[in-house]
Structure 1
């Protein structure tokens, strides 16, 4: 079955396994890449987050992220976020809570991870606190009673252990990593480790299709901000392939209209979109 036929049947021809330690700043830096991929090529793939095996040592002070990045026909994107060494590594509960959120749907799990990272890196929240985890769940619209029940359930624990097993079986020992699978189960996946320019990920997608995948049109920037309100200018520049200066100019215009505000944190400066009238 061709990918066009699969699209017509609402079955996506590719799955991307995204291996991360969600509490590591380097993994968080992949966010704009994923958002752009989903915006332009989301019709062609589904995304599955796999929590890294490095999370088995959550209570150690050493950062679980290695800083050795490999190249895959592309330049590394410059980091614009500081490391998380000033944070205590979050305990097991924070990782289990992610799997509990996923029990309410894959999309809910992704939204939970993204919001949890914002609370850690931008708002300096203690995500080892069950009350903070509940706030995160409430913010993205999860069923709170179900979420709390699942946090302490056997199902969430087994799902977490399953992620660790997948990481081990695929020999993923460096974060972030992605493995691309196409619809042919006999084909091996393509694994890429590290952080690269957006074009590298598109190149991999292209190599795995018989025909060139056509990118969808991007959402108008303000509509995107209404859906994903907290970003750096650098992130938005990656997502929209625009100069940072042009993004800053647009955001300052929204700031004058009282639709956005600039937020300064120990991890950098972010723009927060506040307008809800769209």
Structure 2
């Protein structure tokens, strides 16, 4: 039975956006383990902020812009600050999380994640809005009407909330988070936002 590398994320988490280049590099380095069946990558949605139609407070907008600037200065990550001028921000990431769950059914979760991140951080679009998520879905080849129907079904079934509970039970409480499940033992792996070496070495040691 292969070990499972669990990646817990939220598509609207700015630190997940900052981690993206290193995460992609780590996955590339792990490809031999994936190819020979020793390792499987499992995505888990963390759910930063529940459904809400309330506009984000001015203080929260200021705080989040400060986090974007900090990530940009620390990691060099690109952000389009026009978002704060052109959109009506809401503290609601659950819709974007559900969009990733829909895409998972078609093995397109990482593609949906990339589309949402690009829409949000580079194109100044709001992934809290269904219209933006529909555009992301169509960009990865999903049918618009089927996507809307699947989003409604997931919400009614509380599918996202169940996944969030699963992440909490694994103590994956921050985003991004990494953990390796091997022989029924879960080991949390410290995130290095700029280098893969320590994470790769830990995974290699745990798998043996």
Q: TM-score range by the shorter chain?
A: 0.7 to 0.9
Residue in 2 aligned with 1:120?
120
Name the structure 2 match of 1:191: 188
**1:144-163 equivalent positions in 2, closer than 5 A:** 144-154=144-154, 157-163=157-163
Q: Secondary structure at the match of 2:204?
A: helix
Rounded Cα–Cα distance in structure 2 between residues aligned with 1:165 and 1:97: 18
Q: CA deviation at 1:90?
A: 5.2
- Structure 1: distance between partners of 2:7 and 2:203: 14
Q: Residue 139 of structure 1 aligns with which residue? A: 139
Higher helix share: 2
Number of the residue aligned with 1:171: 171
1:53: Cα distance to partner?
4.3
Contiguous gaps of at least 5 residues in structure 2: 34-38, 68-72
CA distance in 1, matches of 2:8, 2:119: 20
Q: Which string of whole-angstrom CA distances, capped at 9 and with x for unpartnered residues, describes residues 223-258 of structure 1?
A: xxxxxxxxxxxxxxxxxxxxxxxxxxxxxxxxxxxx
- Asked if structure 2 preserves the Cα contact closer than 8 Å seen for 1:20 and 1:50, the reply is yes
Q: Check the 8 A contact 2:96/2:127 in 1, yes or no.
A: yes
- Pairwise CA distance, 1:57: 7.2
1:169: how far off? 0.7
Alignment correspondent of 2:70: none
Which runs of 5 or more structure 1 residues have no equivalent in the other structure?
1-5, 7-12, 68-76, 211-278
Q: Contact conserved, 1:18 with 1:50, CA < 8 A, in 2? A: yes
Considering Cα pairs closer than 8 Å and 6+ residues apart, tell me whether 1 or 2 has the greater RCO. 2
Relative distance call for 1:52 and 1:193 in structure 2 (3 A) is farther
CA contact (8 A) 1:97 1:151 kept: yes
Q: Which residue does 1:79 correspond to in 2?
A: 75
- Secondary structure of 2:141's counterpart equals coil
Structure 1 residue 40: deviation in Å? 2.5
- Across the aligned residues of Structure 1 and Structure 2, the Cα RMSD in angstroms comes to 2.9
TM-score of the two chains, using structure 1 as the length reference: 0.57
Cα 1:193–1:157 change in 2 (3 A) is: farther
How far does the alpha carbon of each residue in 1:176-224 deviate from its partner, in whole angstroms, 9 at most, with x for none?
1111122x22xx22113443421011111211122xxxxxxxxxxxxxx
> Any conservation in 2 of the 1:100–1:150 contact (CA below 8 Å)?
yes
Q: Kindly tell me: are residues 18 and 34 of structure 1, through their superposed partners in 2, closer, same or farther at Cα, counting changes over 3 Å?
A: same
2:48 to 54, 74, 77: 54
